[in-house]
């Protein structure tokens, strides 16, 4: 299985910074099992969330992979999530958590105020699983994606929980995400 841990340790875009912003758009929104100094709802521009990344190590197995979130480029779209201000040391265990195909990328992010409007901007990090990583599954009919999610289980638990927790967290953020909410609806059939 691919392991991006060592590659990510070389992707040190914030050398010398005492704290950096990490933007979570998938499980990092609802499973923040790492130390953070502060967290703020935020979005990134030019991206859309998709359940197109295979999961062999968390929500599935090598024989029966699950599906988890990644991002695709979409010029006029925004993707909502949660930004965490973290000490750079926190990235080491996150590199291990995200090792199945995700690479650190530097992106501009925009923080949200209480009324849901974009406020100031900052540079941040995302973990991105691009279409050239070996665990990438890509697009499929929505009902097939939902069925795969309904059937998959891995060391971190049922794949279904990942999707449901994400949909709940996005609603709490007041975020619209057609792909996620349509998938959640499809999942309820299985």
> Looking at beta carbons only, is 161 or 189 nearer to ligand SIN?
161
Give the total of residues touching ligand SIN (CB under 6 A).
9
Binding region for ligand SIN (CB under 6 A) out of 1-9, 20-28, 83-91, 145-153: 20-28
Within 10 angstroms of residue 126's Cβ, the number of other Cβ atoms is 26
CA–CA dist 5, 141 (Å, integer): 31
> Looking at beta carbons only, is 26 or 54 nearer to ligand SIN?
26
Which one among 44, 69, 79, 170 touches ligand SIN, defined by CB under 6 A?
A: 69
Q: Is 98 an active-site residue?
A: yes
> Looking at beta carbons only, is 101 or 186 nearer to ligand SIN?
101
Q: Is 21 exposed, middle or buried (0-12, 13-18, 19+ CB in 10 A)?
A: buried
CA–CA dist 80, 45 (Å, integer): 9
Of 98, 105, 123, 144, the catalytic one is 98
Within 10 angstroms of residue 32's Cβ, the number of other Cβ atoms is 15
CA–CA dist 92, 21 (Å, integer): 15
Which one among 8, 21, 25, 149 touches ligand SIN, defined by CB under 6 A?
A: 25
As annotated, the active-site residues are 98
The contact set with ligand SIN (CB under 6 A) reads 24-28, 68-69, 98, 127
């Amino acid at each position: 299985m691919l392991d991006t841990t060592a590659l990510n340790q070389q992707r040190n875009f914030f050398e010398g910074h005492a704290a950096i912003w990490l933007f979570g758009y998938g499980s990092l929104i609802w499973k923040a099992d790492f130390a953070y100094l502060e967290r703020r709802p935020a979005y990134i521009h030019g991206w859309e969330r998709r359940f197109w990344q295979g999961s062999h190590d968390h929500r599935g197995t090598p024989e029966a992979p699950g599906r988890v979130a990644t991002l695709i480029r979409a010029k006029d779209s925004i993707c909502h999530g949660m930004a965490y201000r973290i000490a750079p040391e926190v990235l080491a265990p996150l590199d291990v958590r995200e090792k199945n195909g995700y690479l650190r990328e530097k992106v501009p992010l925009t923080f949200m105020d209480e009324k849901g409007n974009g406020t100031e901007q900052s540079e941040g990090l995302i973990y991105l699983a691009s279409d050239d990583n070996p665990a990438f599954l890509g697009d499929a009919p929505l009902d097939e994606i939902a069925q795969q999610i309904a059937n998959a289980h891995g060391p971190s638990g049922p794949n279904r929980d990942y999707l449901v927790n994400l949909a709940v967290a996005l609603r709490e953020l007041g975020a619209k995400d057609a792909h996620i909410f349509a998938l959640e609806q499809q999942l309820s059939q299985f």
